[in-house]
Amino acid sequence: MEDAPEFPPTFPGFGKMIGLEPVSIGQGECVVEVTVLESHLNAGGVAHGGLHATILDTALGGALLSMITPDEWCATAEIVISYIRPAYEGMSLSARGWIVRRGKNLAHMEGEMKNSEGDLIATAKGTWAIWEARPKAHDE
């Protein structure tokens, strides 16, 4: 197996916009962090569930990226989030994802998100599709 891809020093696009930070990636695991900002809050004053989903999706996907070849491509096919506790403004959140089983075309992933005190905030399970090559862009 070739070396795992390097973790980006920052995330592009949406990840950058929400303040997502890489912590570690490799050997089928990935950890990312974010601090809950006022802009992440929903009408109830807690972190929007979409923030949880984004962080967990990134951690699970990153775990798989650490184990595929440079020619392969993957994408989330399904993700299920269980919301355990609310997250509040100023709270530091860390999500860890890992591979449960990887096949030729599918990978089963799991992950969890905790606050800096170690309280479980959310969990995730998902399925990722794997292709032998990156799909062509829509306009190609």
CA distances from 113 to 8, 86, 139 (A): 20, 11, 36
Instruction: Count Cβ atoms below 10 Å from residue 137 Cβ, excluding itself.
Output: 6
Closest by CA to 29, choosing from 125, 115, 100, 92, is 100
CA distance 19 to 110: 22
Q: Report the CATH number of the 13-131 domain.
A: 3.10.129.10
The reported pLDDT for the residue numbered 12 is: 78
pLDDT tens, per residue, the chain with 140 residues: 445 445 555 677 888 899 999 999 999 999 999 999 999 999 999 999 999 999 999 999 999 999 999 899 999 999 999 999 999 999 999 999 999 999 999 999 999 999 999 999 999 999 999 999 887 777 66
The reported pLDDT for the residue numbered 122 is: 98
Helix (H, G, I), strand (E, B) or coil at 57: helix
The reported pLDDT for the residue numbered 60 is: 97
CA distance 28 to 84: 25
CA distance 39 to 53: 16
The pTM score is: 0.89
